[in-house]
């Protein structure tokens, strides 16, 4: 081999060696970047999972599931009552539920904006003891975060085989509503700034779930064969603890107020059929649900906004109704405070 050939051979070997070294460096850098990204991604997920809001959301979901697990018999009254009692006393719900609490049906899968859905306002104790208890839960909560809103998905099954007096009111007055209860596959809970602001029956439904049909007879309340008022779950004796010393007073105050509200057609607008097309709906024709409006009723009668358009024309009648509404609001505060519930006296 000539001297020139030997020279070129050495140059090629050196170049190849340099390319190999350079390639090795590039590969090492790429591996480092990739590993760092994976590590950071894992850390991001871990950081999110460990955030106080996510931790709280998971805890809320798990405690609801534990309080009301699915049982094979959907008409098991003992399981229903146990669920209602546990939910009423569930501290994590008592501490986090907003006043008022919103409840309704999701109108479209994936739409988590509560303002877009038809809703009803509730006192938190009333909703979790009377409404939430009609559902059973299974599996694990799924947590979804959209900006500052956390959505808790709870797989559910509705207790559609209970006696009609066990339901908060005849949901079957609307077949669409009744089916949404029976066929929804999950409840959605909305947590914002560590407050549960509302819940929706998911628009994700299972049409194959067993359905129970009830005929709507036009009655919101009725007496059963024994003369007991129905739905009995709307009564204060069911809502409050047996030891609550304010039950008789709040019941008497509501009965007196309800007579005058009915005389002035207030209950026409504030019934579940929502003749006034309110959103959210505000209900007065059931004792327990009237608690939600106990302070707002006083305010609206004082400001001559209830009944619309200009309140009660007779001043003596209006003052009497204000006094009855104030008595009811005060009695409601005492009864709820005894149960450890949050009391708000401002506008709901």
| pLDDT tier at 25, thresholds 50, 70, 90 | very low
Distance CA 271, CA 282 (A): 8
- Residues 26-38: pLDDT tens digits? 434 444 444 444 4
The pLDDT value given to residue 13? 55
The pLDDT value given to residue 77? 96
Tell me the average pLDDT across 104-129: 96
The pLDDT value given to residue 56? 97
Exposure on the CB side of residue 107, measured as CA atoms within 13 A: 7
**3 or 148, greater pLDDT:** 148
- Residues 301-339: pLDDT tens digits? 999 988 888 888 899 999 999 999 999 999 999 999 999
- Residues 130-156: pLDDT tens digits? 999 999 999 999 999 999 999 999 999
Nearest residue to 317 via CA among 329, 304, 330, 327? 304
Tell me: pLDDT of 214 over 80.
yes
Beta-carbon contacts of residue 35 (< 8 Å; ≥ 6 apart): none
Instruction: Find the length of the chain.
Output: 348
Q: How many CB atoms lie within 10 A of CB 132?
A: 24
The pLDDT value given to residue 343? 87
Q: Tell me the two tokens of residue 146.
A: 């959209």
Tell me the average pLDDT across 50-58: 91
120 bridge partner residues: 103, 281
- Three-state DSSP class for residue 284: coil
Residue 209: which H helix or E strand, with range?
A: none
Beta-carbon contacts of residue 111 (< 8 Å; ≥ 6 apart): 117, 203
Distance CA 176, CA 93 (A): 29
The pLDDT value given to residue 6? 45
Tell me the average pLDDT across 182-207: 97
The pLDDT value given to residue 345? 58
Q: What is the secondary structure of 215-251 as a DSSP string? A: ---S-SSEE-TTS-EESGGGSHHHHS-TT-TTHHHHH
Tell me the average pLDDT across 118-134: 97
- Residues 248-304: pLDDT tens digits? 999 999 999 999 998 888 877 888 987 878 888 889 999 999 999 999 999 999 999
Q: What are phi and psi of 209, to 5 degrees?
A: -65, 145
The pLDDT value given to residue 48? 54
| pLDDT tier at 45, thresholds 50, 70, 90 | very low
């Amino acid at each position: 081999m000539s001297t020139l050939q030997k020279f070129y051979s050495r140059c090629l070997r050196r170049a190849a060696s340099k390319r190999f070294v350079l390639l090795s460096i590039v590969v090492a850098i790429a591996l480092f970047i990739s590993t760092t990204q994976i590590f950071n991604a894992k850390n991001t997920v871990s950081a999110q999972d460990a955030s106080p809001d996510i931790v709280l959301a998971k805890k809320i979901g798990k405690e609801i599931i534990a309080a009301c697990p699915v049982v094979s018999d959907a008409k098991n009254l003992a399981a229903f009552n146990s669920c209602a009692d546990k939910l009423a006393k569930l501290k994590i719900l008592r501490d986090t539920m907003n006043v008022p609490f919103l409840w309704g049906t999701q109108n479209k899968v994936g739409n988590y904006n509560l303002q877009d859905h038809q809703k009803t306002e509730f006192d938190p104790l009333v909703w979790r003891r009377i409404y939430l208890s009609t559902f059973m839960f299974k599996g694990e909560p799924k947590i979804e975060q959209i900006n500052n809103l956390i959505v808790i998905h709870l797989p559910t099954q509705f207790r559609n085989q209970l006696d009609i007096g066990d339901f908060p009111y005849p949901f079957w007055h609307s077949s669409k509503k009744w089916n949404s209860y029976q066929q929804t596959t999950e409840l959605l809970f909305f947590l914002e700034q560590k407050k549960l602001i509302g819940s929706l029956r998911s628009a994700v439904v299972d049409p194959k779930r067993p359905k129970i049909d009830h005929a709507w007879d036009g009655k919101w309340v009725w007496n059963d064969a024994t003369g007991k008022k129905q739905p009995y779950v709307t009564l204060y004796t069911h809502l409050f603890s047996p030891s609550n010393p304010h039950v008789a007073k709040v019941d008497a105050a509501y009965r007196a107020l309800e007579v005058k509200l009915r005389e002035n057609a207030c209950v026409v607008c504030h019934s579940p059929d929502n003749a006034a097309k309110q959103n959210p709906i505000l209900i007065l024709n059931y004792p327990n649900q009237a608690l939600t409006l106990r302070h707002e009723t006083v305010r609206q009668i004082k400001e001559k906004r209830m009944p619309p358009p200009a309140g009660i024309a007779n001043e003596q009648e209006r003052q009497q109704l204000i006094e009855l509404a104030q008595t009811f609001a005060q009695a409601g505060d005492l009864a709820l405070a005894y149960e450890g519930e949050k009391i708000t006296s401002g506008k709901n």
